[in-house]
Amino acid sequence: MAKKKRSSKKSFNPYRLLVYIILSAIGYFVYQCGSPRVVGDIDKLEIPASGTGAPGTIIAREGYTLSYNNERLIPNWVAYELTSPETEGDEPRAKHFRTDPQIAGLQADNDDYRNSGWDKGHMAPAADMKWSEKAMDECFYLSNICPQDHKLNTGVWKSLEEKCREYARYFGKVYIVCGPIVSNNKYGTIGDNGVIVPDGFFKVLLTTYYDRHIGIGFVFDNKKGAKKFMEHAVTIDEVERMTGIDFFHALPDDVEKQAESTIDKAVWSK
């Protein structure tokens, strides 16, 4: 009697498939954990190095972190990450500025700004905090505010804020640090508390573009600026020299050097 020919086709084994899936998942997990973390995932990449620039009290908020200068009564810097989804929030703008409950000792209040001739200029703007009721409320603390020229506040500074939201949507996320520049104190102070009026303002941005980290800085005098914000563009290195603040120090040194010493205007002008 002839032997029955054995089929070369293997029967489906669900247990073998299950083992394969589990081993593949373990391998992927090990690979990811063992791989260097991408710079975009570094926690709080936007926070400048501590102990740089003017001394201040560091306060972490829902939507931003700031260094508050207890002598000048304005922030040294305000830093936050703005993502594409956060630009689409619908939280209404808060209506009232108020003192900061986390600031100990003397701080600016509403009376200081009243009839001063200066706007209450947001550093972290309200339109960037529409994704959270808490973030919106906290950006109206006066610790996030500086005396700012009205034409600057409603002009090119506002235009740059709007462009930052476009950058966040285009790149997916952008890291932002902004604040006052105090050098000659040519505008003096306002109010009974003696709130310093900045000589100017800075804003620095960092993002990724095709796996490349790019950065740009902006510097404005505290007065009406040029109509186009790109006319105020400088390298981040230049802003560091003006302010004494070390931005994006968590980046690898070679990446930080490249991002802070050059400007790819073709990309930032998109």
Q: Which residues are tagged catalytic?
A: 122
Q: If you average pLDDT over residues 191-214, what whole number do you get? A: 96
If one compares 19 and 112, the residue with the highest pLDDT of the two is: 112
Domains annotated for the chain, with CATH where assigned, are 38-268 (3.40.570.10)
| pLDDT exceeds 70 at position 51 | no
Q: Can you tell me the mean pLDDT for 40-49?
A: 72
pLDDT over threshold 70, residue 24: no
Predicted pLDDT at 226: 86
Q: Please report which confidence band the pLDDT of residue 46 belongs to, taking 50, 70 and 90 as the band edges.
A: very high
Residue 91 pLDDT > 90: yes
CA distances in angstroms from 55 to 72, 76, 242, listed in the order given: 10, 8, 16
Instruction: Report the pLDDT averaged over residues 50-67.
Output: 85
Please check whether residue 47 is in contact with residue 78, taking contact to mean a CB–CB distance below 8 angstroms: no
Q: What is the pLDDT of residue 43?
A: 63
Residue 26: its pLDDT value, please?
36
* CA-to-CA separations, 51 to 57, 181, 187, 245, in angstroms, rounded: 10, 17, 26, 9
pTM given for the model: 0.83
C-beta neighbour count of 57 within 10 angstroms: 17
**Per mean pLDDT, which range of 5-14, 136-145, 162-171, 232-241 is the poorest?**
5-14
pLDDT band at 55 (very low <50, low <70, confident <90, very high): confident
Q: How far apart are CA 245 and CA 49, in angstroms?
A: 7
State residue 49's pLDDT score.
87
For residue range 130-160, what is the model confidence (pLDDT) as tens digits? 999 999 999 999 999 999 999 999 999 999 9
Continuous segment of H or E residues that includes residue 214: strand 212-221
pLDDT at 54: 74
- In the chain, what are the helix, strand and coil shares in percent, each to the nearest 5? 35, 25, 45
% residues pLDDT > 90 (the chain): 76
Residue 36 has pLDDT above 50, yes or no: no
Average pLDDT over residues 60-69: 96
Work out the average pLDDT over 49-53.
Answer: 65
* Phi, psi for residue 144 in degrees, rounded to 5: -95, 10
Confidence check: pLDDT of 265 > 70: yes
pLDDT at position 270: 80
Mean pLDDT of the chain: 86
